[in-house]
Structure formats: C-alpha cells, structure tokens
Amino acid sequence: MSKLTFLGATGEVTGSRYLLETGHSRLLLECGIQQGGAEADKANRRSLAHLAKTVDAVVISHGHLDHAGLLPKLVRDGFQGPIHCTDSTLELLEIMLRDAAHVMSKDIEWENKWRERADKPLIEPVYTQDDVDATLALCHPMPYGRPESVTQDVQLTFRDAGHILGSAIVDLIVDDGGRKRHLVFSGDLGNPDSALMHTPAQPEHADVVLMESTYGNRDHRPLAETLEELAQILAQADRDGGNVLIPAFAVGRTQEILYHLGMLYHQGRLPQQKVFLDSPMGIQVTELYARRRDALNGKDLKQLRQASGEPLEASLPILQFTRRVEESMAINRIKSGAIIIAGAGMCTGGRIRHHLKYNLWRKQNHVVIVGFQARGSLGRMLVDGVERVKLLGSEVAVKARIHTLGGFSAHAGQGQLVSWAKGFKGKPVFYMVHGEPQARDALAGLLREEHGIDARVPEYEETIAL
C-alpha cells in the first residue's frame, strides 16, 4: 500500500518535504530549506544521504527556497535522479540557488575568520556553486496541464497555483497495485487579489490533499484598502522627511510592489524622488518577469501599460537598479525622499540589514513589512515591537515606524483557502501543512466544524496510508 511521510513544514512555514512511497518507487515532494535562526541552520546541515540514495525522483511545486532551497544539498549527498518542476520554476531556481550558494559562501567566510581566531574547527557551506550546477542539470521542466509519468507507477500534472511565476499545484495519480490513488498538493496557493498572477487552478478530484495553511487563521485586508494605506504611508514619510524601507522577497513580492508603485506614480501619488531596488537577485527576477510576461496576468499588465504608456520594465521612471555593492552603500547617504526595496524579505540576511542599521534609529523613517515573517526572524521581531536589535555587530534602537501590510501577501487568506478546499468533489482527506500551529489548527477546525471536511493535522515524521 502506498504511503506518505511528513518530513517537514509540520507546524512551521519553512522546510517543506514529503516522501511518497509506492509499491515500486520513492518520490520526494519538495526539498525546502528551513529559515529562522541557529536551529534552522543546524537542521539544514543534517545529512540527506539516505534520502538521496533511495529516492527515484523529486517534484518541486515552485522556486521559493523554503520549498526548493535544499535541492543542492540533496544532490551533494548523492541524489542523481530527475527533478521535476515547471519551466519557469527552473529559470527561477537558477537565479535563487546560485544566490543562496553565494550568500552561504560569504557567511561561511566570515564565520571561519572568527573560528580561526578562536582556534575552533572551520565549517563548510551547506552547498556550493558546483552543487547548484549539478542540481540544475538534473531538472526536468514541464508545462502546466500535461500529464507525465515520473516513475513507473506515478503520473504527475502541474496546475497553476497563482503564487509566483511558475508556481504549481502538484497533482499525482499513483497506481497502487492496480488501484488508482489520487494525491493533490496545493503548493503555496496564490492570493486571487494579487497583481500579475492568475487565479489558482481548482482541482476537483483527490483522495488525499496536502494543503498549505500559512494564513489559515486570518483573511487578508482588501487590496484597495492596502494600497490606500501604502499611499498614506508614503505621503507621511514625505512629510516626515524620511525614507521608506521595504524588506521584500525577491520573487513575487518585489515585482508586485514595483507594479503598484508604478500605478501610484502615474496617479500622481508617489511623492518620493527615487525608488531603489537594491537586491541583485530581485533585479534578476524582475528582469525574468519582464521576459516571461506571457505567463503573467495580461489584465494587470494592460492596466499598467494604459496608465504609463510603457511596458512593465519601464513603467516606473524613478526606479534604479543597484547591482554593485558600492551603489548599495551610496544609498545610506540619502536621508530622505527614497524608497529602498531590498532582500531578504524576513530581514534574515541580504542588503536590507545594512539599510536597517542606517535607518531604524531615525524616527522620521518608515519600514513597511509586506510579507509573512517566520518565528525567529528579524522581521518578526520588528513586527512584534522589539525596541532594540543587533545588526552587523551593532545594537540599534528601533525608532522608525513599523507598518504591516498583509494585503500584499502572495498567499491565499483563510476564506480563499476554505473556498479552494470546498471546490473538491467527493470527500478527500485533507492534511494541513506549511503553517504555524495557530494558523494550521484554526484552518483544520474551521474545515471540520463548519464545512464537514475531514481535515487533519499531521505530526513531524508521521506516516499515512494513501
């Protein structure tokens, strides 16, 4: 009998990983990195050798690191089979995994300098650029909607999840000793209100559904209200004589924010003189979105073109890409009138930490949080009202105003998740994954008690029969 084991993202929103075992094959669904502090780093370093040597194939729903960031580690530990993803996801993985390897190498370089001085053993990165090269060579891109056999008894179809470019709902049909069993994994379901992305596809048939629950306990604020609040924050920052910092996820969120800033600019509601995209990876992904505009929501792009008379990449004339470190450092001399968009989205690394160091202590500045902040991340600490933070060796007082704008989320909210779950015919069993306990439990309870859906909460390393 086919079975599924939960190897990650149970009670948390990072580190997605699930093992499907059939009578003839072993399939790994997702291979995400864990994010959020020292414990996460320790978890990412654990050996994947047993999985690597026993798994026949890997399926990836989309390119975010919490779903695909440990693929090079799996390959480094011995995996040599195919990695199935959409064609756009493959293009994103090339950008994201190379960036992750680069950041790791720099972090390890600094760490080892300290270790050498302290006479402690040196450490190696979780993976290197060579591991990324080997990983990309194993990737097998597939279009949406075309079934394909990925092992001798598992058929895969990708459907548009509407989350980021290339994101997919994973639809698996397993031949279980002559009996067909149907497993659907939501991946990360998109927010139908988001610009640029299509509405998530609605599968109708499944025996078992793995469903993300990131926002299982709340709905997002309506987008129109969120945009109005953003416009007011920008106006207030202009009156205060400060800067606006936006820690943004390089994939999806950054492009959505640029779209809305472009619309505000052409409505005459963007008082700032300069918008900096200070994220080498964010720049690469923005350029990829522009190249792949055929895969985006044409209605939104048409509205932007009508407002600006320009294509996506030229719709915000005050936008400046800062690729080089020297250009990034120069931004810190600007005391007012700038919007600075920089990674990482949870402030766990990247250039945003430098900008926070130079801007957090000034009360005229504003920080706009536009995405989910995992427990243990600096972004979560700011949202929770911390008064002082340590940044790049210095303790910095938090005097800037912190704003949280949930309406920009690329994830479906509670009501949208419930609606998607209710779209299935028959009575599939739902398992809540990829959500912190409060959100996961709330969604499971709501599905059970108000909609009669068999919704369950799996434990880490729990195995279920299909």
**pLDDT tens-digit series, residues 317-330:** 999 999 999 999 99
- Chain mean position to CA 322: 22
Indicate whether this model's pTM tops 0.85. yes
Residue 311 has pLDDT above 60, yes or no: no
Report the top-level CATH class of 223-408: alpha beta
H/E stretch holding 429 reads strand 429-433
Domain with CATH 3.40.50.10890 in the chain: 223-408
Two structure tokens written together for 278: 């200070």
Radius of gyration of the chain (CA): 22
Single-letter code of the amino acid located at 152? Q
**Contacts for 445-450: CB closer than 8 Å, 24+ residues apart:** 446/216, 446/414, 446/418, 447/418, 447/421
Nearest to 313 by CA among 341, 292, 340: 292
Domain with CATH 3.60.15.10 in the chain: 3-218+410-465
| Mean of pLDDT values over 367-386 | 91
- Residue 106 CA to residue 83 CA, distance in Å, equals 27
- Hey, what CATH topology would domain 3-218+410-465 get? Metallo-beta-lactamase; Chain A (3.60.15)
**pLDDT tens-digit series, residues 217-251:** 999 999 999 999 999 999 999 999 999 999 988 88
Cis omega before residue 442 (within 30°)? Answer: no
**pLDDT tens-digit series, residues 103-129:** 888 888 888 898 989 899 998 999 999
